[in-house]
Amino acid sequence: GAVVSQHPSRVICKSGTSVKIECRSLDFQATTMFWYRQFPKQSLMLMATSNEGSKATYEQGVEKDKFLINHASLTLSTLTVTSAHPEDSSFYICSARDRGSEAFFGQGTRLTVV
């Protein structure tokens, strides 16, 4: 299957700083990318959907000024957690689709805010 690479896999940051997470589709062009957050023992919660070259569509309750999403090319999307706080500590996962019916997922990023 297609490969989606997410970086970094783990990051620890201080409260109040910003963290950027990258998501790359390595062998296909990702028309659409999705960002999810997953808390322990819970399912993936969709945060936002982004299409290449346009603004992301955020799910209800997700602050767009706090979680900045950029989908500048067909192979790269970034999620920046701005002014991170301990409650933002979570497992963040990206996913990418071309025009087909499968979604491919990155390996996830464990964010810990201290």
Closest CA to 6 of 30, 28, 29, 22: 22
The count of chain residues that interact with other proteins, using the rule CB under 8 A, is 31
Question: What number of residues does the chain have?
Answer: 114
Q: Does 112 bind other proteins (CB under 8 A)?
A: no
The rounded distance, in Å, linking the Cα atoms of 89 and 112 is: 5
CB of 68 to other proteins, least distance (A): 19
Per-residue x/- marks for other proteins, 21-60, CB under 8 A?
Answer: ---------xxx-x-x------xxxx--x-x---------
CB of 86 to other proteins, least distance (A): 19
Closer residue to other proteins (CB): 57 or 83: 57
The rounded distance, in Å, linking the Cα atoms of 79 and 82 is: 9
What type of residue sits at position 7?
Answer: H
Closer residue to other proteins (CB): 11 or 82: 11
For 79-108, give one letter per residue: b (16+ CB within 10 A) or e.
bebeebeeebbbbbbbbbbbeeeeebebeb
Residues 72-111 interacting with other proteins (rule: CB under 8 A): 91, 93-95, 97-108, 110
Instruction: Kindly list the residues in this chain that would bind other proteins in the complex (CB under 8 A).
Output: 1, 4, 6, 30-32, 34, 36, 43-46, 49, 51, 91, 93-95, 97-108, 110
